[in-house]
Structures are given as C-alpha cells and as structure tokens.
Structure 1
Amino acid sequence: MSSIPIWVFAVILLIFLSGYMAIRAFLAEKKLDRQFIEREGKIYMERIQEERMKRREQE
C-alpha cells in the first residue's frame, strides 16, 4: 500500500468521478429529450383535433 503514490489514487478517483458525471449528464439529456418529444407530440395531437373539428363543421 505504501509503495503506490497518492497521485495514482487521485487519478483513479477522478476517473470514477468523471464516469459518474458522464452518466448523470446522459440521464439529464435523456430527460430533456423525452420532455421535448412529449411537448411536440401534444402540439401534433392538438393540430389533428383542430383539423377533425374543421372537417366536422364542414359536413
């Protein structure tokens, strides 16, 4: 244990920290993408409903 320099432990710790931050960023981006898709889907469904209402009024 005493033969391994402290900087080696620091590098290993930083590697794990970097991995944790990468996973955290990936999950946050995935959540944002899901919210964007959901918002765009709602807009699309509203347009479809408006189009249906227009067609019913024309009949």
Structure 2
Amino acid sequence: MTEVAPRLAEAEADLQDLIETHMETMLGVRFLASEYSAGPVHGGRIDSLGIDENGAPVIVEFTDRR
C-alpha cells in the first residue's frame, strides 16, 4: 500500500484519475474502463467502471457540487 498525499482536486477529472489509479486498493474493485458508454438505449457515459471480487459490476460516478 502506498500513502497518497492529501490535496484538493482542482477538477473532477483529477479526482477521477486518482480513484481509478487506486481503485483496487481503496475500494477492492478492479478498474475496467473510464467514460464507458451506457449504450444507445440509456445514453450517456459511466464515469468509472469496475468489477468486484464477486464478479459484479461496480459503477462510480463523480459529481462536482461546489
């Protein structure tokens, strides 16, 4: 495990990158994809997609609420 130095994220993308880089360590979830398409029926994108130890999909969404 590596300690991450505390700092404020300047943009949502900074936080997303940090979480995706360390997703397995922090959440126990293996990172699969960033900005994954939700398909033509649902539209939009999934910010971060992973898979847990049981093989279940994990969706992480980031929202800037300043």
Which TM-score tier does this pair reach, normalised by the shorter chain? under 0.3
TM (normalized to structure 2)?
A: 0.23
Higher helix share: 1
TM (normalized to structure 1)?
A: 0.25
Rg larger in structure = 1
Higher strand share: 2
Query: 1 or 2 for the larger relative contact order (CA 8 Å, sep ≥6)?
Result: 2
